[in-house]
Amino acid sequence: MIKVRVKASLVRMGDRLMGDAGEPGLMVTQVSARNGEIRLSHGGAQTRLTGDPLVWVMRAEPRVIEEELPAPIWRPSGPRRTQPWEGGQ
């Protein structure tokens, strides 16, 4: 988990809101926006934010896959064919 500061509209399901003392709070289960207000549902409660302020959340770190991708199956079988609009030699 990493601590990030994002706009309230970019909070995702599964993020944890940061508490006043810096401890991770409850997990966000729903994000909705209506009439300039953003509602973050967590547990049995909601946090209502006016506008789109920055909020601190704990978010799972993005995974980076460090494997090499396999070679492509398709390979051209010969030289590239010239198209009629490209002109001939």
pLDDT attached to residue 7:
92
How many structural domains comprise the chain? 1
Q: Is residue 15 part of a domain?
A: yes
Contact 17, 68 (CB under 8 A): no
pTM: 0.61
* Residue bearing tokens 């704990």: 58
Residue at 80 is within a domain: no
Of 4, 7, 6, the residue nearest 60 (C-alpha): 4
Q: Does 79 map to a domain?
A: no
40-85 pLDDT per residue, tens: 998 888 889 998 899 999 988 777 767 777 777 776 677 777 888 8
Banded model confidence at residue 39, pLDDT cuts 50, 70, 90: very high
Q: What is the CATH number of the domain that holds 35?
A: 2.30.30
Is position 12 within any domain?
A: yes
pLDDT score of 89 more than 60: no
Question: Is-contact 48 37, C-beta < 8 A?
Answer: yes
The boundaries of the domain holding residue 52 are: 2-61
Stretch (H or E) spanning 48: strand 45-50
Residue 6 covered by a domain = yes
User: What band does 37 get if pLDDT is binned at 50, 70 and 90?
Assistant: very high
pLDDT at 23 over 70: no
Residue 3 is encoded by which pair of tokens?
Answer: 């601590």
